Structure 1
Amino acid sequence: MSNAMYNKMWHQTQEALSSLLDKESETVMESQRNQGFIFQMLATFYIKYVQIFRNLENVYDQTVHPQKRLLIRKILDGVMGRILELKHDMVELELTEFHYFDDILQDLKLAPQQLDIPIPKYFLKEKLEVIKGREKILAQILADTGLDMAEKKYSVKSIPLEEAVKVIQIAERARQGRLRAMFMKQIFLQEYRAKQAKFLSEKVADLEAAALQIQKVWRGFHQHKKTEKLRQEEMIFLGMNPPPLFNEVSATIIQAEKVTSLRNEVQIKHEEKYREALVTIKDDLKLIEGPDIKENLQDQIRHWFIECRNLTGTFPDYPHVEEGGSAIIFSNKTPQQVTEDILASQEEEEKNEKNKKKAKKPKKPKEDQEKKSTREKSKEEDEGWKMSPSVFLPTMEEGNNVYKALLPHQALHPQPSPGPTHPPPPLVARQLQPSVVWIGDTEKTFYKKVPSAERMMEPKRLKKQLPKILRLLKPGDRILIVGTTQRPFDAELQSFCKVYQKIILVPRPDYASRFVLWKQIIQRNGGIITNALNISCLAKVTDGFTQGHIVQVVKGVLTDRRIHRQNYKPLVAAEFMAALTRMSPVYQEEEESFKDWYAKTPMGKKRALALTGGITEKGKGEKKEKKGKKEKTKK
């Protein structure tokens, strides 16, 4: 696409963002009590921000104007932050990490794929050198530890000479046996053909019957091909099968990819010119106009000092850096106003110091504090839910205002377009930010009781060290620690929940998810999906199996030999069924045990209280109040 097209896309996205910001500013002041309405509002904002993010990310990636890219990047960062804030609000509202937007997507006429959040392309482009450096470091680490599979050398075991001769003899005799069997088959076929020819030569050849037989076979074959072609055309017309050239890359897409790569090259050149221009213009300004500016500033400072002396009788002190330095002199104020402001600020500082010394308020009794807290809680309940203040809304509004002020006339003007499983030490992770640390079978670190088979490995040795390591991380560190487990109920819940801020229970995939998983995983592993492979049947049969089971089955069936044989022997569902029979699914009892364990986590408890209307909390409060009254009566 051309520059005009991307400018138009940016203009339309900015209009959508502006209207969305207006709606958000209206809803910030309103208080709501209906939880369903609140979720619908948050989900609608979330989906619209995702669409804006996708468009802005595309525009930022293809825009070649450096100043425009700075403004787009600022707005894009604000939109990404707002998406995270809305996601956090939805989690706090519904007390679950999974949300369903089916009805909202239907109202907005969007497909589920449009809700996906792609990884911004500039994440890789701007960190390309860093990524290459990391790859070298990891390759060196793998080479030093001997885990590099590409260069791994397998040891060869030596065998005695007699055993080697015996193996060679067995192989040679088997080869000779195969050759002899092939020769015997050829001799048998020659004798059979000779007998048949002798037998047929005695009969009188019926040419009409032979021709009729040939015609039957040919017409049947021709009609079968014709019927199969008509059936395929009908399925394509009904939308049940893709068109014949559906999976092939068109020439238009290839041309668009070439244009995209050329735009990226032009983008880099413009960025370099822009950075060079910033330096050269500043240097030229210093060289040409620097002496005149310096002389004018000195004259203004002298004039200011003389005016202050004429008003006060003495020369004033030069303003300190903390007070603003010489910037105070060049503000749009008279010398008298500046001196008054300095004196007023000094008096305010003295008053503040005196007030701090006197500010020793008496402590209120506990009863008053409890009454105050209950009043605040009742007040919050009466007011209802309000949207939490956003950190990123001001950034987006500022960027939107800059766009409206500077770039509305440039939005649609075209520009010349270019041509056609152990945690690493710190968590190392800090030096290679952003980084993800994966801990497999994380329940072993927090075992209630260590199994006898694993006592030698001391799996609980990190139980005390891991929280200490996590405390070393600062808020600015971009490190994500992910732990996975298949048996969370074997761990101590309290220490387990202290380490992990969020605990997500991944549910079993439903029919639609299993259908997509089978299709995608088979294609990613080199499989070809034809009409002979019934994906729907596989999705129905695998009810109860997880995503990991499907991956294991596909990798076990699609060996190199089977992939090469697909052209003349297509894949069928029965091949995957045989591998599934050797696996055990997740039964209903096991799934219930996972749900019961999750209900004991902090998020699970909050959700249970929300579903019951907070009855348990009220009961506890009443019991505490009754105990307090009894103690008072005893006293």
Structure 2
Amino acid sequence: MSQATCCQIWTDTQRELDAMLQREREEFLQPQEDPEQVMKMLATAYVQYLAILRKLDEAHAPLIHQQKRAAVRHALDGVMGRILEIKGEMVALEKSECHSMAAILMELQRVPEDIEIPIPKYFIKENLGILQYREKYLHEILLNAGLLKQEAVRAMTLEEGIRVIQVAERARQGRARAAFMRRIYLEEKRQSKKQEQTMAKSPDDAATCIQKVWRGHRQRRETERLREEEMIFLGMSLPPELEVMISLQKTNVLEGEVQERANFSFRHELRAAEGPHIKETFQDEITQCFLECRHITGRFPDYPPEKTGGSKALIIEKHPEEIVEELAAKKAKAEAEKNEKDKKVKEAKEPAPEKKPQKVEKQVVDEGWKMGPSNFLSMLEEGSSQYQVFWENREHKSDFLQDHDPELIKAGEREEVEEEIRVQVDEVMEEKLLRVKEVVDGETGPGQVKAVKEKTSKTPVKKKISELEKDLTPDRTIDSLYQQLAEERLLIQVKNVNLSDYMGYDDCVRSLLRETGAQPLPSIPEVRQLVALYGILPLGSQTVHENAPLVKSLLLAGPAGVGKKMLVHAICTEAGANLFSLTPSNTGKYPGKDGLIMVLHMILKVGKELQPSVVWIGDTERIYSKGATKGEEEVNFKRLARLLPQFLRALKPKDRVLLVGTTRRPFDANPGPFCKVYQKIILVPKPDYLTRFALWKHYILQCGGVLTKLNLNCLAQVSDGFTQGHVVDVVHTVLTELRLLQMARKPLRTAEFVTSLARHDPVYNEEEEAFQAWYAKTPLGKAWNAARETDEDGKGKRKKKKGKGKKKGKK
């Protein structure tokens, strides 16, 4: 994609974003009473923001200009964060993670694929070198520790070596002989043509033919040159040198090579050109603040310390007239409070006359729904204003080299130069203030009474630091801790799996059930969306993680074989994250409370330093299992359950670390502490008919099978209740190497797969109902059920209460 096309997409998308911001100012800031209308507004904004995110990512990926990339990246992070905020509002409104979007998609004329969450490419592209180095380093550690099986290299015998050399030499001799015979054939053909031309034509005819060919060739070249000059003059094409340069830059970007550009800096020029003027301005402002303060208070103020910002604290202060108004308002307030106290004293002395209590009816004012405060709207508005100032009216085609813009760099560095000069001015003005106070007011230093008050008032408050936040390994480097975690299998390799590889389609039956009021399991596309929203987007962007609603933990619950572990690896692959395994089998290597604390501390330390990171706990229901503990292993699990809340409290918004648990029997655990640890719970369903059809076709073709006499409809129907893991296992069992060799004379039959499938146990309806019943006991499930009961029975209950009140009044 050309740079002009990227800039055009950016321009069009920025206009759509400005229209969305204007719509939010008009609609979302006003209270709404109808929940259905609110949900429609939120869902519409959600779909439109997803389309904007997809276009911004499309424009950002091929851009070469670094400052343009930074501007598009700013808008990209803002849109991602706004999508997460709107999703949170939708969940709070409907008390469900899944929403029916069919009507909104039909109204906006969109397809179901438009609500798939696009994952920005810069998550991996900008950190590709670091990720490749980290993967290679981990592979070497596992090889040296003997945890990976390296393919053995078999030595070649002497006879085999001689045979290989003979084959290669005979092939070389054959190619050389063929080339020699071809040269002889072409030489003979050339000689025969030469003899025919000399015998057939005279020298005059030959000269005329040569002249005709040459003149035609020269005229075509001249015409082409004139056409190119005309197009360059009209601005419809570029000179060939610039076209070659731009094409080389495009290929470098698309191939993922790191562009080493010079770090352009204009600090020295700004300091030399604008430094004296900035210094003089600061001195005048500070002097004026001193004089105004003396005029109001009668003395010069103390110079603010460097911790509070120095002279910034003085310049930010208000105008003298505003200070006088504030003093008068405080004085009036103090007098009013004094009068109220005197009045209360008089009332206490005089006995108040008895009055009959009057019934006061409480008025419940329902202001309706209103959009909560946003951390990303200001970011988007700031990016929109910067775009209008710097990029909207700029001619992008004229920037052939896609080089830096000096004015933008100066605008960013001017603040740093001003801060450096401000520090120098503070030192000079502080000494000057001390001399002036000594001469005019007779003061030799800052007020002692004020200093004593500050010492007495500002007593240090000791914060309680948890055991996991203490540095238990001060003498260990990150590399040594990384190596130890890898050797103990607490740090594992990430399988290269994308989120799009988790195949599945939307189920119409689930959508119809949701419209009737039931809450079925989410579909596979909805699982992909939730994993991307709560797992991948916050881990990939530091800005989104710090400002969006913070999700520290995520639980994937579903039957065995539905792809929970695959989703964990997909999160790490898409976000470029490390994967730490805290499964109960690994934690047994560090027995006792101290051992578990050391493991969690090492994971926290390495995960925060090499973020983003994912901490995975497989079979997490064993940690919160019901009943009495039996054996040291179960006791260790219980200790881990008590330490996980401390682990989550140690994670701050700046730490891109996510705790992911997977469970296939969540109903075996105590629901209280289990649901408190995991903020978001995603139920992973078994595949429906359409998904099973696609799975059979995909994996059979992937393993080398041919779909000649295979009935995929029958396979999809028969495999109802079976999971993705069952399908993969059956395909690999049937399509062995011997069976693939026999496929030419013996095509694949449906019965072969059905026979192998019969050896597996499906997911029965009772197990699926157990998952639904367990999810109903989670906080979100309870809130959804309570909301349903209120909608159905709330009006009737209110009428009954009012009727009872009337009967009591008559009696």
Q: Same fold (TM over 0.5)?
A: yes
User: Which one-letter code corresponds to 2:711 in the other structure?
Assistant: N
Are residues 571 and 123 of structure 1, via their aligned partners in 2, closer, same or farther at CA, if it must alter by over 3 Å? Answer: farther
1:58 Cα shift? 1.6
**Match for residue 272 of structure 1?**
261
Query: Deviations 1:537-576 (Å, cap 9, x if unpaired)?
Result: 3222222122332233334334455556667766554333
Contact 2:582 2:618 (C-alpha < 8 Å) held by counterparts? yes
SS at match of 1:612: helix
Q: Distance in 2 between matches of 1:504 and 1:429?
A: 24
Q: Distance in 1 between matches of 2:88 and 2:293?
A: 60
Q: Distance in 2 between matches of 1:341 and 1:315?
A: 18
**Match for residue 576 of structure 1?**
753
Contact 1:319 1:328 (C-alpha < 8 Å) held by counterparts? no
Q: Distance in 1 between matches of 2:36 and 2:93?
A: 10
1:130 Cα shift? 3.5
1:16 Cα shift? 1.4
Q: Do residues 422 (structure 1) and 603 (structure 2) align?
A: no
**Match for residue 489 of structure 1?**
667
User: Which one-letter code corresponds to 2:7 in the other structure?
Assistant: N
1:80 Cα shift? 0.2
Contact 2:626 2:668 (C-alpha < 8 Å) held by counterparts? yes
Q: Distance in 1 between matches of 2:338 and 2:251?
A: 67
Are residues 51 and 358 of structure 1, via their aligned partners in 2, closer, same or farther at CA, if it must alter by over 3 Å? Answer: farther
**Match for residue 242 of structure 1?**
none
Contact 2:607 2:613 (C-alpha < 8 Å) held by counterparts? yes
Q: Do residues 403 (structure 1) and 387 (structure 2) align?
A: yes
**Match for residue 157 of structure 1?**
none
Contact 1:443 1:485 (C-alpha < 8 Å) held by counterparts? yes
**Match for residue 185 of structure 2?**
none
Contact 1:557 1:575 (C-alpha < 8 Å) held by counterparts? yes
Q: Distance in 1 between matches of 2:296 and 2:634?
A: 86
Contact 1:4 1:415 (C-alpha < 8 Å) held by counterparts? no
Q: Distance in 2 between matches of 1:96 and 1:497?
A: 16
1:398 Cα shift? 1.9
Q: Distance in 1 between matches of 2:753 and 2:267?
A: 69
| Mapping 1:159-238, distance limit 5 Å | none
**Match for residue 683 of structure 2?**
505
User: Which one-letter code corresponds to 2:51 in the other structure?
Assistant: Q
**Match for residue 87 of structure 1?**
87
Moved more, 548-557 or 598-607: 548-557
User: Which one-letter code corresponds to 2:80 in the other structure?
Assistant: M
SS at match of 1:613: helix
Query: Deviations 1:436-476 (Å, cap 9, x if unpaired)?
Result: 12211111111113798997796444232333333322233
Are residues 139 and 345 of structure 1, via their aligned partners in 2, closer, same or farther at CA, if it must alter by over 3 Å? Answer: farther
1:325 Cα shift? 5.0
SS at match of 1:430: helix
**Match for residue 574 of structure 2?**
none
User: Which one-letter code corresponds to 1:483 in the other structure?
Assistant: G
Q: 1:379 aligns with which of 351, 361, 365?
A: 365
1:409 Cα shift? 1.8
Are residues 267 and 105 of structure 1, via their aligned partners in 2, closer, same or farther at CA, if it must alter by over 3 Å? Answer: farther
**Match for residue 729 of structure 2?**
552
**Match for residue 4 of structure 1?**
4
1:599 Cα shift? 1.4
Q: Do residues 262 (structure 1) and 252 (structure 2) align?
A: yes
Q: Distance in 2 between matches of 1:293 and 1:513?
A: 70
Contact 2:294 2:300 (C-alpha < 8 Å) held by counterparts? no
**Match for residue 124 of structure 2?**
124
Query: Deviations 1:10-29 (Å, cap 9, x if unpaired)?
Result: 11111211222222222213
SS at match of 2:28: helix
Q: Distance in 1 between matches of 2:40 and 2:717?
A: 32
Q: State the TM-score, normalizing by the size of structure 1.
A: 0.65
1:65 Cα shift? 2.1
1:43 Cα shift? 1.7
Q: Distance in 2 between matches of 1:467 and 1:122?
A: 33
Are residues 12 and 310 of structure 1, via their aligned partners in 2, closer, same or farther at CA, if it must alter by over 3 Å? Answer: closer
1:49 Cα shift? 0.8
Q: Distance in 1 between matches of 2:742 and 2:335?
A: 90
Are residues 53 and 451 of structure 1, via their aligned partners in 2, closer, same or farther at CA, if it must alter by over 3 Å? Answer: same
**Match for residue 446 of structure 1?**
624
**Match for residue 349 of structure 2?**
none
Q: Distance in 1 between matches of 2:699 and 2:338?
A: 70
Query: Deviations 1:26-84 (Å, cap 9, x if unpaired)?
Result: 22133334433332322221111111101101211112222222221111111000111
Unaligned runs of 5+ in 2: 154-245, 345-360, 403-580, 584-598, 802-811
Q: Distance in 2 between matches of 1:385 and 1:35?
A: 8
1:88 Cα shift? 1.5
Q: Distance in 2 between matches of 1:131 and 1:498?
A: 33
| Mapping 1:274-423, distance limit 5 Å | 276-277=263-264, 279=265, 281-287=266-272, 290=275, 292-293=276-277, 296-297=280-281, 300=284, 316=300, 320=304, 326=311, 378-380=364-366, 383-410=367-394, 413=397, 415-416=399-400, 421-423=581-583
Contact 2:614 2:658 (C-alpha < 8 Å) held by counterparts? yes
Q: Distance in 1 between matches of 2:395 and 2:743?
A: 52
Are residues 527 and 542 of structure 1, via their aligned partners in 2, closer, same or farther at CA, if it must alter by over 3 Å? Answer: same
**Match for residue 596 of structure 1?**
773
Are residues 514 and 347 of structure 1, via their aligned partners in 2, closer, same or farther at CA, if it must alter by over 3 Å? Answer: farther
**Match for residue 468 of structure 1?**
646
Q: Do residues 480 (structure 1) and 649 (structure 2) align?
A: no
Are residues 29 and 469 of structure 1, via their aligned partners in 2, closer, same or farther at CA, if it must alter by over 3 Å? Answer: closer
Q: Distance in 2 between matches of 1:564 and 1:353?
A: 97
Q: Do residues 134 (structure 1) and 134 (structure 2) align?
A: yes
Q: Do residues 611 (structure 1) and 596 (structure 2) align?
A: no
SS at match of 1:481: strand
User: Which one-letter code corresponds to 2:788 in the other structure?
Assistant: L
SS at match of 1:62: coil
SS at match of 2:685: coil
Contact 1:515 1:536 (C-alpha < 8 Å) held by counterparts? yes
Q: Do residues 36 (structure 1) and 63 (structure 2) align?
A: no
Q: Distance in 2 between matches of 1:46 and 1:53?
A: 11
SS at match of 1:504: strand
Q: Distance in 2 between matches of 1:299 and 1:393?
A: 37
Q: Distance in 1 between matches of 2:794 and 2:688?
A: 35
Q: Distance in 1 between matches of 2:129 and 2:745?
A: 45
| Mapping 1:105-124, distance limit 5 Å | 105-124=105-124
**Match for residue 188 of structure 1?**
none
SS at match of 1:463: helix
What is the aligned-residue identity percentage? 41
Contact 2:6 2:60 (C-alpha < 8 Å) held by counterparts? no
Q: State the TM-score, normalizing by the size of structure 2.
A: 0.52
Higher relative contact order (CA 8 A, sep 6+): 1
**Match for residue 186 of structure 1?**
none
Are residues 325 and 446 of structure 1, via their aligned partners in 2, closer, same or farther at CA, if it must alter by over 3 Å? Answer: closer
User: Which one-letter code corresponds to 1:584 in the other structure?
Assistant: D
Query: Deviations 1:243-269 (Å, cap 9, x if unpaired)?
Result: xxxxxxxxxxxxx99985434589954
SS at match of 1:379: coil
Contact 2:78 2:380 (C-alpha < 8 Å) held by counterparts? yes
Q: Distance in 2 between matches of 1:434 and 1:285?
A: 38
